[in-house]
Homo-oligomer: A and B are copies of this chain.
Amino acid sequence: MKRIPDDVIRRLPRYLRMLDDMHERGETRVSSGQLSRQLGLPPSQLRQDLSWFNGPEQQAFTYDIDELRSALGKILGTYDEFSAILIGPGKIGSALLEHFNFIVDGYKVLGAFDASPDRIGTEIAGVKVYDIGELGDFVRDNKVDIAILTVPRGPAQALTDTLVESGIQAIWNFTNQELDVGDSGILVENVHFSDSLLALNYYLSQKKAKE
């Protein structure tokens, strides 16, 4: 299969979210026009994006919602099973453990890691909290796929070094710090709240300047 461009990949989760909402409302078919209006995208772009994995024979003007959800899920790997750990179950970390539906998304969260004696040995949303000193061995022994990093900026790089040495595959990074994984090929996906707020800030100051 041809390599799907990054900007297409970045749009697909949103398509899937929309289709999940339609499915929940009991809808079964959607036209490309409806879908593109709801997404705020030109119909031509929508059809082109979907043609990357849906095959030219399905470039019809209406889609079966469940078929499209299933095709999107397959390409995004939601039917795969990945193992995950969470490092730093503070407020953001424990909110993710409690509210984020990892099971639906095919993740098995094997444990959380913390340095605080108050947290070690407890459970958060059914996930056991281990001593951060055990991190490297745990990742190696359990062949953990993804580490969710919700620690402050300070210890982020040292923990990343440990993860890299222990053979982690991917890091979902909430630390607002750029992580250096060298030439390990480890995937890093950043969630930078401040970048998002700064972009909003730009549009807001432009809007106010026009008033």
Contact = CB atoms under 8 A, between A and B. Distances in A.
Please tell me the size bucket of the interface on A: 35 or more
> Would you call the interface of chain A mostly helix, strand, loop, or mixed?
helix
A170 interface: yes
Report how many copies the assembly holds: 2
B18 A204 contact: no
Contacts of A95: 90-92, 95
Listed residue (A17, A77, A201, A205) with the most chain B CB atoms within 10 angstroms of its CB? A201
Given A76-B202, A95-B95, A201-B82, A14 B192 contact: yes
Contacts of A204: 77, 80, 82, 145-146, 169-170, 187
A60 interface: no
Interface in A173-211: 176, 178, 185, 187, 189-208
A194 B105 contact: yes
A64 interface: no
Interface in A10-54: 10, 12-14, 16-18, 21, 38
